[in-house]
């Protein structure tokens, strides 16, 4: 029951954030967009230099006990077969630059009680490379792989209770 509440709350926040973000940036969502509830993928059609490409945002949600923040909660980003350039925004104010093949960040110092939103964005080449995002610690692990578009857009929602 408690997990269902957090999942619904996370989905609500994600949808609200993306609608607000779209309005600010004048993005128009394609009518054929869909949301998958487990890991939501929201395709958007954008135009650049008269060519269209698909940009994909994925979301992962995890809940952890506040006592576990005494231990490392590690965010790993592996782009070993690609050149990755981008950034991580933690709770809309802390930015970490991504410009190497692998990043490993202890997220514990950046997390607080409640909802924490970690936005991972960037570009990678070659486009058919695979980027792996993994969050692990205190017996929890989430892994997400991206490939094929050359654009990385992932949101990790960490609920600390």
Tokens 């997400």 sit at which residue?
A: 144
Q: Domain residue spans in the chain?
A: 2-160
C-alpha span between 129 and 82 (Å, rounded): 6
pLDDT tens digits for range 53-76: 455 688 999 999 999 999 999 999
Whether 24 has a pLDDT exceeding 50, the answer reads no
**Phi-psi label, residue 110: left if phi above 0, alpha if psi -120 to 50, beta otherwise:** alpha
Specify the pLDDT at position 97: 93
pLDDT tens digits for range 118-131: 999 999 988 888 89
C-alpha span between 156 and 80 (Å, rounded): 21
3-state secondary structure (DSSP) of residue 4: helix
Q: Please state the pTM of the whole predicted model.
A: 0.64
pLDDT tens digits for range 30-57: 333 333 333 333 333 333 333 334 556 8
């Amino acid at each position: 029951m408690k997990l269902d509440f957090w999942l619904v709350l996370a989905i609500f926040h994600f949808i609200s954030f993306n609608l607000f973000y779209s309005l600010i940036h004048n993005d128009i969502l394609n009518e054929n967009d869909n949301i998958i509830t487990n890991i939501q993928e929201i395709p958007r059609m954008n135009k650049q230099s008269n060519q269209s490409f698909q940009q994909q945002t994925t979301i992962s949600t995890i809940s952890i006990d506040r006592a576990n923040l005494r231990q490392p909660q590690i965010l790993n980003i592996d782009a070993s077969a690609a050149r990755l350039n981008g950034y991580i925004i933690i709770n809309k104010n802390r930015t970490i630059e991504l410009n190497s093949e692998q990043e490993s960040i202890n997220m514990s110092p950046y997390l607080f009680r409640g909802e924490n939103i970690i936005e991972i964005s960037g570009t990678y080449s070659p486009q058919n490379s695979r980027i792996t995002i993994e969050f692990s610690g205190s017996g929890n692990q989430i892994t997400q792989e991206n490939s094929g578009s050359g654009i990385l857009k992932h949101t990790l929602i960490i609920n600390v209770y």
